[in-house]
Structure 1
C-alpha cells in the first residue's frame, strides 16, 4: 500500500510529517507529500494515524 496527499487541499499543518516522517515530508511549496514507495508494515499504524488525524482529510492509503 502507498500513501497519497491531495496537495490542493493541504493546509501545511505538519500533523502527518510529525506523526510519520518515514512516509510524509514537505515539498518546496511547503505542502505535504508522501514518499513514492510502499509503506513498510512497521510504519503502517503511524501512516494510518496521520491519515485519520488529517484535519482536511486529504490523505489516502491504497
Structure 2
C-alpha cells in the first residue's frame, strides 16, 4: 500500500500524524506528508483509518 497527501487539501489537523507517525509527518509548511514510499504491512490498517478519518479526504492511495 502506498499513500500520498494532497498538500492543497490538507488543513493540518494532525489526525494522520498523531495516529500513524511512522507513516506521516509534517513538512516545512506544516502540512502532512507521507514519509515512506510503502506503508509497512503491520501499519496498513492504521494508515487506512487515517485515510478514512481525514476530514478533507487529503490522503489518497497512490
Q: TM-score, normalised by structure 2?
A: 0.94
Aligned-pair CA distance for 1:36: 3.6
Q: TM-score, normalised by structure 1?
A: 0.94
Match of 2:25, SS state, is: strand
Unaligned runs of 5+ in 2: none
In the other structure, the counterpart of 1:61 is: 61
More helix by share: 2
In the other structure, the counterpart of 2:29 is: 29
**C-alpha offsets along residues 4-62 of structure 1, whole Å, 9 cap, x if unaligned?**
00000100000000111110000010000001421110000000000000000010124
Task: Tell me the matched-pair count.
Answer: 62
Q: C-alpha distance in 2, partners of 1:22/1:61? A: 16
Match of 1:25, SS state, is: strand
Unaligned runs of 5+ in 1: none
